[in-house]
Amino acid sequence: MTTLSDLSDKERNERFDRLQERMRGYWQIMGRNEEGESVVVIPSVSLDRVGERSGSLQQAYEERYLFLLLLLRHPRLRMIYVTSMPIAPQIVEYYLALLPGVIPSHARARLSLISVGDASPRSLSQKLLDRPRLLSLIRSLVPNPLRSHMVPYNTTPLERDIALELGIPMYGADPRFFPLGTKSGCRELFADLGIRHPLGFENLRSIEDAVEALMRLREARPDVTKALVKLNEGVSGEGNATVDLRELPAPESPGEREEIATRLHQMEFERPDTPFSSYAAKLAERGGIVEELITGEEVRSPSVQLRVTPFEEVELLSTHDQVLGGPSGQSYLGCSFPADFEYAKMISADAQLIGERLAHEGVLGRFAIDFVVVRSNDGSWTPYAIELNLRKGGTTHPFLTLQFLTDGRYDPNTAQFFTPSSREKHLIATDHLESSKFRGLTLDDLFDIVARHGLHFDPARQQGIVFHMISCLTELGRIGLTAVGDTPASAKAMYQKAERILLDEARESLAERPLLT
């Protein structure tokens, strides 16, 4: 029998194409409550990052998608959820208890939790491919491969190979489209579609290329004050750096090149501990771009989420305003939903064009487009397309949590979300509620605080708090949450209440701890 390792990349792609054809059949039975339906969740974060993450943070990111357990409200669905390390039973119960109209033990019986038992910071997908017996076990848990599909986070050849090993299709973009989702690839796509995006240059391979690109940028726009250098595969701002272009010799004058080279060496990294030499090495290895920094009195960073179905239909799912932080405000911390209606429709129209092109190319699944919008003196907004994330993103889990809990829908025409009983809903979410004091709280402390202070999701009023990335609270002092309310103000109030209570309780638990003498 031929195994996957006997096949070339080309042969794997051919097999994968055949497997993916099954997505259409699956799509037609999905959610219909038919016998034999199953979902295999592989929440591997298979990204090439500049710095390494700890194994615990990696695990927390894998658990970020546990809201998918809410799918078990479909009474015949089976789910296989795979993680690097075992998930604490209390965390699983927490999600199952959120399920409206479901008996938690009934849902639990349909859930198989598989863990590798490998806490190293490598990607979950790599860990699985190294363990054929574990893959066989997962395969054996799928009741009917014709009624199953795999849900990844992002899609690389690793996830493709897991789908092939399991013999089930993958709901996500074929990894062959990977270049489209890089910083260079998406700039080319925006240009091709005539969508406004920052002035800049792509496919750079060295610091010398970046110097050249910055000179051309100044030539085209002599008043540019700052520019960004971005690594093709950077995420969460980690691959971005800001170059100060103020008070330089005039464009094309002697000494300009040397001055720009000096400024590049002094560029400010969004991830401050990045050594210049490793950044330059990554640029050479993976490529990157240079572009003008869009500035203005008021600048915001909204994003649009879309999906392409197996029938090539483009669906506009949601718009968000990103909450960013870090040294120059480029690191993703969280989001609010929906985006401000003043520009939501405008960016949605650009996103729709991009979605149609991707559908035409054969892309499947969820993706998101980031924009920067600038307000002019007359109050109008000008949008710039910034990047295409060809995967699930940081807004997927809060939005789907809201959707699964309320059964509501986002209307792209009004940029509003309504529940079936016509109540409007808003959310604010973070992946970064952080305090060193939180390290004083264990998992059981957290759930005790949640119960005593009513930091719950209230199904009757369809508002409240849902936590995520719970497992890293005690080690890293970090947790995520989604706060849902009827107005932006009520969602914000709920968010702030949760933050205040957690901080107060964490302080108390530290004070209560007897001193070691």
Ligand X SMILES: Nc1ncnc2c1ncn2[C@@H]1O[C@H](COP(=O)(O)OP(=O)(O)O)[C@@H](O)[C@H]1O
Tell me the C-alpha distance between 315 and 432, whole Å.
29
Please select the residue that binds ligand X; options are 20, 125, 301, 318, rule is CB under 6 A. 301
* Residue 203 Cβ vs ligand X, minimum distance, rounded to whole Å: 16
Interaction residues for Mg ion, span 54-93 (CB under 5 A): none
Residue 464 backbone class (left: φ over 0; alpha: ψ -120 to 50; beta: rest): left
Spatial distance between the Cα atoms of 148 and 134, rounded to a whole number of angstroms: 18
For position 370 contacting ligand X by CB under 6 A, the verdict is: yes
Q: Is 319 in the site for ligand X (CB under 6 A)?
A: no
Contact between residue 331 and residue 237 where contact means Cβ atoms under 8 Å apart: yes
Q: Tell the smallest beta-carbon distance from residue 368 to ligand X (Å).
A: 10
Residue whose CB is less far from ligand X, 387 or 505: 387
Give the position of tokens 């033990």: 105
With binding defined as CB under 6 A, does residue 182 bind ligand X? no
Provide, rounded to whole angstroms, the least separation between the CB of residue 239 and Mg ion: 10
Candidates 428, 409, 426, 429; CA nearest to 486 is: 426
Q: Which of 391, 323, 3 lies closest to 182 in space, CA to CA?
A: 391
Residue 249, phi then psi, degrees to nearest 5? -55, 150
Q: Which of 185, 157, 227, 224 is nearest to 369 (CA)?
A: 185
Is residue 386 involved in binding ligand X (CB under 6 A)? Answer: yes
Q: Distance between CA atoms of 45 and 372, rounded to whole angstroms? A: 25
Query: Any contact of residue 174 with ligand X (CB under 6 A)?
Result: no
Q: Which stretch binds ligand X (CB under 6 A): 144-152, 234-242, 413-421, 431-439?
A: 234-242
Which residue lies nearer to ligand X by CB, 272 or 420? 272
Q: Whole-number minimum distance, CB 336 to Mg ion, in Å?
A: 16
Of positions 84, 115, 236, 318, contacts ligand X by CB under 6 A: 236
The answer to whether residue 294 forms part of the interface with ligand X (CB under 6 A) is: yes
| Window 325 to 344, contacts with ligand X (CB under 6 A) | 330, 332
Give yes or no for residue 370 binding Mg ion (CB under 5 A): yes
Among the residue ranges 179-187, 367-375, 377-385, 469-477, the one whose residues contact Mg ion (CB under 5 A): 367-375
Nearest in space to 364 (alpha carbons), one of 121, 108, 23: 23
Do the beta carbons of residue 472 and residue 466 sit within 8 Å?
no
Q: Which is nearer to ligand X, 243 or 308 (CB)?
A: 243
CA 298 to CA 343: how far, in whole Å? 13
* Among 149-157, 290-298, 447-455, 466-474, the segment contacting ligand X (CB under 6 A): 290-298
CB-count exposure of residue 141 (10 Å: 0-12, 13-18, 19+): middle
Stretch (H or E) spanning 465 = strand 463-468
Residue 39, contacted partner among Mg ion, ligand X, none, CB below 5-8 A by kind: none
State in angstroms the smallest separation of the CB of 183 from ligand X.
6
Question: Which window, 76-84, 103-111, 369-377, 404-412, contacts Mg ion (CB under 5 A)?
Answer: 369-377
User: Facing residues of 383 across strands?
Assistant: 373
Options 229-237, 245-253, 446-454, 508-516: segment touching ligand X (CB under 6 A): 229-237
Tell me how long the chain is. 517
| Cα four-point dihedral sign 502, 505, 507, 510 | negative
Q: Which of residues 411-450 bind ligand X (CB under 6 A)?
A: none
**Sites of contact with Mg ion (CB under 5 A):** 370
**Sites of contact with ligand X (CB under 6 A):** 198, 228, 230, 234-237, 240, 291, 293-294, 301, 322, 324, 330, 332, 370, 372, 386-387
